[in-house]
Amino acid sequence: MATAHSRTAARYMMAPAVTLLLGWMLVPLVMTLYFSFSDYRPLRGVFEPWVGFENYVRFWNSSSFADSVQTTLILVAAVLVITVALGILLAMLLNEPIWGQGIVRILVISPFFVMPTVSALVWKNMMLDPNNGIFSHIWRFFGAVPHDFLSQSPLFSIILILSWQWLPFATLILLTAIQSLDSEQLEAAEMDGAPPLARFWFLILPHLGRAITIVVLIQTIFLLSIFAEIFVTTGGAFGTRTLSYLVFQRIVESQNIGLGSAGGIFAVIVANIVAIFLMRIVGKNLDA
């Protein structure tokens, strides 16, 4: 099928994309590696090119490191579970014949268009604020003392914001998958008297497997490096410091480039562990 000629052509056609991405990955990575072995603190005017693994040892041993990895994993896992679970329910609902389907769909996907800084600002100031936020008004309406979300349940608040942002994306992909489900098959099952739960479990869910993996993969990629939502809302306080936020604090706030770069390398390693794990699953599913 594919001739030798087209194979050569294919290689040339891959070249620009592969080269560009290789450069985009290698240049900063090599520089970060270089910095990570140095004592580089520009505000002190210190630059000592080689200090061995000192930065790595310090970053690893600092009390914040383990916490930040844990926070990152909890955050990513929670948002994934929420968006996939609610996404499936919402997709099934949107698949029903309803009046005004087009408008409902517009309402549902809108959060996806909002830039992360804006959604963080809106949630922080207009929704979660203990004095003027909508939630505080609702709390007061029922005679309760307003809950201060960002200090009392900080991680939950950030998960809430992120889930709101990503639910539309999950819903859309899952909806497309549900729509492709053979409706005759479903009807046949319904005729046979299969209860709704069984139909969902044995027919719909397996069909969605591939779509779910894709939602998980794409969202994980974006969630591992979220920044604006934390920067705007808690600034990393109250146990919301993710690994990438810790790296930011080291590099930008402490201006310790060496230490922060070592942290950056740890972040790359963690991301790659997650990636390998994910790729295994997705790789399999991409073949299927």
Residue with tokens 């990152």: 72
| By the rule CB under 8 A, 263 interacts with other proteins | yes
| By the rule CB under 8 A, 277 interacts with other proteins | no
Which tokens in the block code for residue 30? Answer: 């090599």
Which one among 66, 77, 81, 118 touches other proteins, defined by CB under 8 A? 118
Which tokens in the block code for residue 222? Answer: 């974006």
Which tokens in the block code for residue 49? Answer: 């090119």
| By the rule CB under 8 A, 279 interacts with other proteins | yes
Query: Distance (Å, rounded) from C-alpha 228 to C-alpha 130?
Result: 21
| By the rule CB under 8 A, 166 interacts with other proteins | no
| By the rule CB under 8 A, 108 interacts with other proteins | yes
| By the rule CB under 8 A, 255 interacts with other proteins | yes
Which one among 75, 76, 177, 203 touches other proteins, defined by CB under 8 A? 177
Which one among 175, 203, 204, 216 touches other proteins, defined by CB under 8 A? 175
Which residues make Cβ contacts (< 8 Å) with residue 1, sequence separation at least 6?
none
| By the rule CB under 8 A, 70 interacts with other proteins | no
For residue 241, which of 93, 63, 78, 116 has the smallest C-alpha distance? 63
Query: Distance (Å, rounded) from C-alpha 17 to C-alpha 45?
Result: 39
- Taking the complex as a whole, how short is the minimal distance between the CB of residue 268 and other proteins, in angstroms? 6
CA atoms within 13 A on the CB side of 165: 23
- Taking the complex as a whole, how short is the minimal distance between the CB of residue 151 and other proteins, in angstroms? 4
- Per-residue binding string, other proteins, 203-242, x by CB under 8 A, is -------xx--xx-xx--x--xx-xx--xx-xxxxxx-x-
